[in-house]
A = this chain, B = another copy of it.
Amino acid sequence: MAKARHSRFDCSPGCAVEAAISLIDGKWKCVILFHLLSGTMRFNELRRAAGTVTQRMLTNQLRELEEDGLITRKVYAQVPPKVEYSLSELGHSMAPILKSLKDWGDANLDRFGRPEPIERLAAE
């Protein structure tokens, strides 16, 4: 539990930056965090919100976020099971990062891989 999963930082300048992203790397983590900014969510809610994440990966990422103390997992002892995820205080402190990521993304979405709409437009 909480084994040193993150690579050791050798604290050169830029260390802080490296440390920060090491917590949110992995394709899904910041997406999860971002969604949790809006409030508590259940497992399958997150699953849908994240788009195409697999069950295994979502579980995995949630566990790591929990280990790192960014999110809180609350299990209700009932059937069917109910588990709620929410941001810890530390998690909330990342809001500025998430926000700047979102802002940049919004401003530049059309610049790189603009995802084309699923339906083919009139072409052909």
Contact = CB atoms under 8 A, between A and B. Distances in A.
A19 B112 contact: yes
Give the interface residue-count category, chain A. 35 or more
Contact of A6 (B49, B103, B113): B113
Contacts of A102: 16-17, 20
A98 interface: yes
Contact of A14 (B17, B50, B90): B50
A17 B115 contact: no
Contact of A105 (B19, B27, B31, B113): B19
A6 B112 contact: yes
Contacts of A7: 27
A4 to B, nearest CB: 6
A102 to B, nearest CB: 5
Contacts of A52: 10
A27 B25 contact: yes
Nearest to A98: B17
